[in-house]
Amino acid sequence: MNGYGGATPSTMGSHVGISLPQQRKPSFQPIRPQMRPPSMPPGPGTGTLPFYSFDPASVQASAYSMPPTIQTADSFDNEPPLLEELGINTSLILRKTTNILNPLRINSYLHEDADLSGPFVYIMFFGLFQLLAGKLQFGVILGWLVVASLFVTLVFNMLEGNDGDLKVYRCMSYVGYSLLPVVIFSAFQLFLPRGGMAILLFACLAVIWSTRTCTSLLVSASLHAEESRSLIGYSCALIYTAFSLLVVF
């Protein structure tokens, strides 16, 4: 029973003449995911990295088409010697050495191309002979050579005045190559008795030989240096006397 005397709203409306709206059943439809179209790769100027396609077949083909980079034996044969790459001319050093060994005729034209390779070899032999005599003097010899070169350069440029343009590098080459007689003396003193007249005589000969050689090379470095040969020779004599005393004592 309800408030309408047992009549339902539908029957009641049919008696009264009013049509009531019919109730519809709710229809449920499944929600399908929306398919988005594929996004295109971003182009330049978008602030992101562009997408590039990668084809392994093309990379493999290009790798096979590249020429080989393996060096053959011919390429090694065409390489210059190591000493030549370092700027060491062994033939020129030998010619300068034979020129120094001839005290009567000194060719100054061979020493126009100054180098320190030959003097460095002489210093190594000088230090080796001193080491065999029980004296470790590699640093002393090298330091004395540098100081002697600075001293001779200063004296030479002061004597020449405006014409004096001798560089320390060239002077060190002259002084170092002229050290060869003292190096030979240091080798002979290994077989001579210490404190005898023979070693003093060899020392005097080495000093005269080295002084004459270095003086001739320095005089040839300037046009007007012949006038001051005696003063240049005196400074060179002091230097090689010090090196000879280093050997004697």
Boundaries of every domain in the chain:
114-248
Compute the distance between CA of residue 117 and CA of residue 97 in angstroms, rounded to an integer: 12
Residues 27-73: tens digit of each pLDDT: 555 556 555 555 555 555 455 555 555 555 554 545 445 555 555 55
**Six token digits for residue 194:** 């210490």
pTM over 0.85: no
Compute the distance between CA of residue 164 and CA of residue 147 in angstroms, rounded to an integer: 19
Nearest residue to 238 via CA among 139, 115, 144, 128: 144
Share of the chain above pLDDT 90, in %: 48
2 by DSSP, 3-state: which? coil
Residue 137 reports pLDDT greater than 90: yes
Q: Which residue has the higher pLDDT, 86 or 141?
A: 141
Compute the distance between CA of residue 182 and CA of residue 247 in angstroms, rounded to an integer: 8
What DSSP designation does 66 have? S
Please report which confidence band the pLDDT of residue 141 belongs to, taking 50, 70 and 90 as the band edges: very high
CA 13 to chain centre: 112
Region of residue 195 (left: phi > 0; alpha: psi -120 to 50; beta: else): left
pLDDT at 140: 95
Residue 16 reports pLDDT greater than 50: no
Compute the distance between CA of residue 103 and CA of residue 51 in angstroms, rounded to an integer: 81
pLDDT at 165: 84
Compute the distance between CA of residue 190 and CA of residue 3 in angstroms, rounded to an integer: 147
Q: Which residue has the higher pLDDT, 196 or 46?
A: 196
Residues 86-136: tens digit of each pLDDT: 777 888 899 999 999 988 888 888 888 889 999 999 999 999 999 999 999
CA 63 to chain centre: 35
pLDDT at 14: 47
